[in-house]
Structure 1
Amino acid sequence: MKIILYSKPGCHLCEGLQEKLEQIQNLNFDLEIRDITSRDDWFAAYQYEIPVLFLTEDETETLQPIPRPSPRASVKQLEQMLLKYIPNTEKNNAK
């Protein structure tokens, strides 16, 4: 299970969300950060939307969108929201 965060340098909302995602310990997922300034297609798709979250669970990388949480959400609230999208909720620090 992998969460993909589309972000760009200097985006405070992106940085805050990344920090919170990295603090989650009760969900089993890998976190991949994608810099939208590194590819024109990502930039065109997400320049006005970042931070953008997707969940992927297979090698074909079928992306399931995850709604953007409030910037004011705590780590615990973010974890509770992600529980709706991540089926494997074993306590595992696999990030």
Structure 2
Amino acid sequence: MVHLILYSKPGCHLCAGLVEKLNQIQDLLFELEIRDITTQDRWLNAYQYEVPVLKQMINGQEMPIPRPSPRLSVSQLATHLQKHLIATPA
């Protein structure tokens, strides 16, 4: 299963919109881990002006996924993810 990490922060409407759309994707199996950047200084320093940041965890390494436009529909977001996700062995 694909493991996605979303770096987010409270009150971020772009983050909330992305989470809502990710939760509606039905034709792509993934586990979503949401990390609140305000809970760790290193995350806050790295992403405070960049959220939402979406990454894929592969063999213990975080691989960035290009930022999807907030205007994408749920199906367009699914296509975006399918295009950028790296296949991992089962």
Q: Which stretches of structure 1, 4 residues or more, deviate above 6 A after TM superposition?
A: none
Q: CA RMSD in A?
A: 1.1
1:52: how far off? 0.2
TM-score normalized by structure 2?
A: 0.90
1:35: how far off? 0.1
Contact 2:66/2:84 (8 A) holds in 1: no
Contact 2:4/2:55 (8 A) holds in 1: yes
1:9-48 correspondence runs (5 A): 9-48=10-49
Please name the residue that 1:78 is paired with. Answer: 77
SS in 2 for 1:83: helix
Please name the residue that 2:66 is paired with. Answer: 67
| Higher RCO (CA-CA < 8 Å; seq separation 6+) | 1
Larger helix proportion of the pair:
2
Contact 2:56/2:65 (8 A) holds in 1: yes
- Count of aligned pairs: 86
Q: Which runs of no fewer than 5 residues in structure 1 stay unpaired?
A: 89-95
1:19: how far off? 0.5
TM-score normalized by structure 1?
A: 0.86
* % identical equivalent positions: 60
1:74: how far off? 0.4
1:84: how far off? 1.4
